[in-house]
Amino acid sequence: MPDLKRPAALNRLAVLTSGGDSPGMNAALRAVVRAADAAQMSCVGIADGYKGMIDGRLKPLDARDVSGILQLGGTVLGTARSTRFRTPEGREIAAKNLRNAGVDAVVVIGGDGSMQGAKLLSEEHGFAVVGIPGTIDNDLSGTDFTLGFDTAVNTAVDAMDKIRDTAASHNRLFFIEVMGRHAGWIALYSGLAGGATAVLVPESSWEEDSIRAKVLESFALGKRFCIVVVAEGGEEGGAFGVARRVTHETDLDYRVSTLGHMQRGGAPTMRDRVLGARLGDAAVAALLDGEDQIMVGERRLEIVRTPFEETWTTDDRDFAGLLGLMDRLAR
Ligand code: ATP
């Protein structure tokens, strides 16, 4: 049986990045290591997320080891998706590796799946575990924004601005597919910031007929371009399928553009760097306060701590309100 007794003091913490990479993960890593250093705790970094935890790929990190990474996109620790970690046997091996390295607390930087794994690691093996929301999808509650979302949306908006130039020159309709398989936050914010006519997201149902009517009305009102943002994955045939169905029996001149993985990369924006710094520091502070099984986040500029379970089961952020705003302004 694992020893579930908590250590009296925290001496060594492990940090990993997990799930999809997101800009700002390095800023958070740097902050975790330096905040731990300031609190006289030692740190180990785990390569490639839970996969590296199972393979025992841990190495000591000190304040100097995280120099020069703040401005880098991706994650210098590497990340991975691990099927073995989803099994009790896999987590048992991972926990053994952590114990052998003298680890008593873990900071997990990742998305909702990573938080679910983090909860099990704490429940089953007694490590104090704190999460940091690191995903471009913004699909965790307990924070207004997740790390990487701001950078990803800025990348999408930059691409949309360029597409708008050519769309307006040709009087064209564009369907732009952005990331967000199960969450439409990137589509919503890039639609709002890029002046789209409609955004199609998994959170809300829509009909081809009404999108077609909206687009035709926009052109009839004198618009020289129309942009429809489509969140990836939710629709049959993706943005290409949507485009075919929406333009059916019209003579609309349309093109489809899929932004793809470029949305994940690039230097983190100021917002993601500052968020990474704040959340990395807050994660260490939470551990020092004896917290466990919580995620740190930022809401209305305040640091908040949310039990893991709530981060993927509830969400009180006003997605619908912003969708309504986008709709009212698209005229
Ligand atoms: P993103 O939002 O960028 O996709 P994520 O953290 O949600 O990030 P996932 O692939 O869902 O990405 O999860 C990352 C890893 O966390 C998985 O590869 C797996 O090892 C672990 N994990 C996910 N869900 C669970 C679960 N229910 N139980 C145990 N481990 C899990």
Q: Which residues belong to CATH 3.40.50.460 in the chain?
A: 149-265
Q: Are strands 42-46 and 198-200 parallel, antiparallel or unpaired?
A: unpaired
- List, for residues 258-299, the tens digit of each pLDDT value: 998 999 999 999 999 999 999 999 999 999 999 999 999 999
The token duo for 141 is: 């509650």
DSSP β-bridge partners for residue 12 = 42
- Specify the CATH class of 12-148+268-315 in words: alpha beta
The protein residue whose alpha carbon is closest to atom 19 in ligand 1 is 82
> Where in the chain is CATH 3.40.50.450?
12-148+268-315
Residue 281 designated active-site: no
Q: How many angstroms from the chain centroid is the CA of residue 110?
A: 7
* CA 321 / ligand 1 centre spacing (Å): 29
DSSP-derived letter for residue 267 is: P
Superfamily of domain 149-265 in the CATH hierarchy: Phosphofructokinase domain (3.40.50.460)
In order of 28, 32, 53, 76, 188, the CA distances from 282 in angstroms are 10, 8, 23, 21, 28
Residue 258 burial by CB count (10 A; 0-12/13-18/19+): exposed, middle or buried? Answer: middle
Question: Which of 21, 48, 104, 137 is flagged as catalytic?
Answer: 137
Distance (angstroms) between ligand 1 centre and the Cα of 18 equals 7
d(CA 296, CA 294) in angstroms, rounded, equals 7
Q: What is the pLDDT of residue 139?
A: 95
pLDDT in tens, 140-197: 999 999 999 999 999 999 999 999 888 888 888 999 999 988 899 999 999 999 999 9
Mutation pick for ligand 1 pocket among 16, 83, 85, 89 (CB with most ligand atoms within 8 Å): 85
pLDDT on residue 167: 83
How far apart CA 277 and CA 121 sit, in angstroms, is: 25
Question: Ligand 1 centroid to 265 CA: how many Å?
Answer: 20
Please report the beta strands in 223-299, taking only residues with DSSP state E, as ranges in sequence order.
Answer: 226-231, 254-258, 294-299
Picking from 188, 216, 210, 212, the residue whose alpha carbon sits closest to that of residue 200 is: 188
Pocket, ligand 1, Cβ cutoff 6 A = 18-20, 50, 81-82, 85-86, 110-114, 116-117, 120, 135, 137
Quick one: average pLDDT of 41-64? 97
